[in-house]
Chain A
Amino acid sequence: MKIIVCIKQVPDTNEVKLDPKTGTLIRDGVPSIINPDDKSGLEAALRLKDQKGAHVTVISMGPPQADAALREALAMGVDRAILLTDRAFGGADTWATSTTLAGAIKKMDYDLIITGRQAIDGDTAQVGPQIAEHLNLPQVSYVEGMEVDGQHFIFKRMFEDGYHRIKVKRPCLITTLQEMNEPRYMKVGGIFDAYREKEVEIMTLADIDVNLEHIGLKGSPTKVKKSFTKGVKSAGKVYELAPKEAADLIVDKLKEKFII
């Protein structure tokens, strides 16, 4: 079985600070990690490898620094790591990113593509499903469990109040949730191998099959007009009232603030 896992290197914090002038993320001094949803997807792939045998390729589109995230994946036990990097890919929104990734994946063999649900620095949850659309693949999002059933997979797709069990034929794409598993640590020897024996393959624009109109800043239909840090909210107030009185109180308060 061949599995491709897409990962993103993100700043290690849920409280990403924005530069108030430029509206971009301040990454200086913030250590980088593999996005948590992606890391669980990676762990799911490695567990399939341990249990059934599989060849796992990890791919990331990003700047040269994303090399560290790919080496971490190698140290956890993946077989192949690819860094998709080119100045032409810069400034991409989710559409341009998924187009670029699909352009690279198109040329590869796979039974399963795994992406994390969403990245903690963007929270869009769009790239995975878009890749599936580009490649014309069945997709299952919000996966928290999986098993292999012959030429099919059975996925557990989570909802707020329950889950679906979905049987899908290979090849397909899933987006995974952080809650799916507890990712393994890197192994000491794996880290040495990742730096001394294994390679992170570089793919550039020349190596992939894409329409130049759909990649990078120019190919990104999303335009960010303004980024800002949310103002600090004042502390909330707790009322313990019967439902009817509570409803009246809420209406009064909303009127008081001219919201309704």
Chain B
Amino acid sequence: MDFNLSKEYIMLQRMYQEFAETEVKPLAEEVDETEEFPVETVKKLARYGFMGIPFPKEFGGEGGDVLAYAMAVEELSKVCATTGVIVSAHTSLCATPIYEFGTPAQKEKYLVPLAKGEKLGAFGLTEANAGTDASSQQTTADLEGDEYVLNGSKIFITNAGYADTYVVMAMTDKTKGNKGISAFIVEKDTPGFTIGKKEAKMGIRGSATCELIFENCRIPKDNLLGTEGKGFRIAMQTLDGGRIGIASQALGIAAGALEQTVNYVKERKQFGKPIAAFQNTQFQLADMNTKVEAARLLVYKAAVQKQNKMPYSKEAAMAKLYAAEVAMEVTTKAVQLHGGYGYTREYPVERMMRDAKITEIYEGTSEVQKMVIAAHLLK
């Protein structure tokens, strides 16, 4: 057992850090303040291969793996959680299900441009009345000749409006419950498909979170992903993998807040000495660092298990549950150690604290992760 990163991962980490520090960090505050999707950053991410890390080269990817992808989301999220989730939703929720369930023709047409970063991806499962209870889908897809006709709407869709390719779940047979759900690939600008209301959010404010509306939206029959009735399984497997991405985002937020705080406590002086000299500060930092490291081990382990084609559903759930809790705890402590300044927008820790909260909610709430873990334990 070896807990050290090999030379290539160390080099990857350095490259991610250089890119994040130079290209992403300087914009993080503005992206949060203006709630504007960082279009130019996404182009740069594409140029350097961030949008197709775990996919083979034959599909336009970088020939990397899940750990390399997780580390990229971590490093980006250290400086900007918005950028982290753009890459995570694109990779885990859109490109991955097409890679894992798509036909050769679908991979050629959709995965290649996604992996190259020429196109951006999104994923639509959640509906107003189908959140954690994903099986209560109301969106329907009816086969008419060579086309499926989609009707209904999705909410809280990450990358919506900016994405070109959407993996969307809809009911092909309402009588069959979960087994009546199917997955489809929908292109933007398909007649009948529009982007609805954009959410005003607490954190990850530069990430576009919108409604998808389908009104007699006709898509080719060939855009069915997998087979009819496979949609729920595709969605659940996709979310298992997505949890590794979000766990990496949470880990990055926590690690970023810790880094900021270590710098701050060395400079901030009270009672004639840096607050780093006080034992309370030291103990808080020790706890924060220990938890960040524990979260990192869980995240990397889940990533390596997926990469090695071993079962990883439970590991991914544990990684997301724990990393999200750590992100919330560490960012809260970071704000506390910054005192009054930490509560202002002059320092990035308040943004990190707002960004952290969503990691306990999306792609399966912490409660869902506990259900998954317990189900594995008790089976």
B11 touches A189 (CB 8 A): no
Residue A191 at the chain B interface, CB threshold 8 Å: yes
Min CB distance B358 to A, Å, is 26
| A192 CB contacts on chain B under 8 angstroms | 8, 62-64, 68
A188 touches B49 (CB 8 A): yes
A185 touches B18 (CB 8 A): yes
Whose C-beta in chain A lies nearest to the C-beta of B12? A191
Residue B57 at the chain A interface, CB threshold 8 Å: yes
Residue B318 at the chain A interface, CB threshold 8 Å: no
B48 touches A191 (CB 8 A): no
B57 touches A189 (CB 8 A): yes
Alpha-carbon distance A187/B51, docked complex (angstroms)? 11
Residue B162 at the chain A interface, CB threshold 8 Å: no
A185 touches B48 (CB 8 A): yes
Min CB distance B245 to A, Å, is 16
Whose C-beta in chain A lies nearest to the C-beta of B68? A188
Min CB distance A191 to B, Å, is 5
A72 touches B63 (CB 8 A): no
Min CB distance B114 to A, Å, is 15
Min CB distance A187 to B, Å, is 5
B8 touches A196 (CB 8 A): yes
| A186 CB contacts on chain B under 8 angstroms | 11, 15, 48
Alpha-carbon distance A189/B62, docked complex (angstroms)? 4
Min CB distance B3 to A, Å, is 19
Whose C-beta in chain A lies nearest to the C-beta of B61? A189
Q: Which of A57-95 contact B (CB under 8 A)?
A: 68, 71-72, 75
A72 touches B11 (CB 8 A): yes
- Given B18, B49, B68, which contacts A187 in the complex, CB threshold below 8 Å? B49
Residue A113 at the chain B interface, CB threshold 8 Å: no
Alpha-carbon distance A68/B6, docked complex (angstroms)? 12
B8 touches A189 (CB 8 A): no
Alpha-carbon distance A196/B64, docked complex (angstroms)? 10
Residue A104 at the chain B interface, CB threshold 8 Å: no
Whose C-beta in chain B lies nearest to the C-beta of A71? B11
0/1 string, A149-189, CB within 8 A of B gives 1: 00000000000000000000000000000000000011111
Alpha-carbon distance A196/B9, docked complex (angstroms)? 12
Question: Interface of chain B, helix or strand or loop or mixed?
Answer: helix
| B356 CB contacts on chain A under 8 angstroms | none
Residue B7 at the chain A interface, CB threshold 8 Å: yes
A188 touches B72 (CB 8 A): yes
Min CB distance B56 to A, Å, is 10
Min CB distance B19 to A, Å, is 5
A191 touches B15 (CB 8 A): yes
- Given B7, B12, B18, which contacts A188 in the complex, CB threshold below 8 Å? B12
Alpha-carbon distance A192/B50, docked complex (angstroms)? 13
| A75 CB contacts on chain B under 8 angstroms | 11, 15
B64 touches A195 (CB 8 A): no
Residue A193 at the chain B interface, CB threshold 8 Å: yes
B19, B53, B62: most-surrounded residue (chain A CB, <10 A): B62
Min CB distance A250 to B, Å, is 38
B11 touches A68 (CB 8 A): yes
| A189 CB contacts on chain B under 8 angstroms | 49, 57, 61-64
| A193 CB contacts on chain B under 8 angstroms | 63
Alpha-carbon distance A75/B18, docked complex (angstroms)? 14
| A196 CB contacts on chain B under 8 angstroms | 8, 63
Residue A3 at the chain B interface, CB threshold 8 Å: no
| B48 CB contacts on chain A under 8 angstroms | 185-188
A188 touches B8 (CB 8 A): no
B15 touches A195 (CB 8 A): no
A194 touches B68 (CB 8 A): no
Alpha-carbon distance A75/B8, docked complex (angstroms)? 10
A185 touches B19 (CB 8 A): yes
| A71 CB contacts on chain B under 8 angstroms | 7, 11
| A188 CB contacts on chain B under 8 angstroms | 12, 15, 48-50, 53, 62, 64, 68, 72
- Given B8, B18, B50, B61, which contacts A191 in the complex, CB threshold below 8 Å? B8
| B62 CB contacts on chain A under 8 angstroms | 187-189, 192
Whose C-beta in chain B lies nearest to the C-beta of A31? B14
Q: Which of A121-164 contact B (CB under 8 A)?
A: none
- Given contacts A190-B49, A191-B8, A192-B8, 11 further A-B pairs with CB under 8 A are A75-B15, A185-B48, A186-B48, A188-B12, A189-B49, A189-B63, A189-B64, A192-B62, A192-B63, A194-B8, A196-B63
A-B contacts, 11 of them at CB < 8 A, read A185-B18, A187-B48, A187-B49, A188-B15, A188-B72, A189-B57, A189-B61, A189-B63, A192-B62, A192-B64, A195-B8
Give the interface of A toward B (CB within 8 A).
68, 71-72, 75, 185-196
7 tightest A-B CB contacts, nearest first? A188-B49, A189-B62, A195-B8, A188-B62, A186-B15, A187-B49, A189-B49
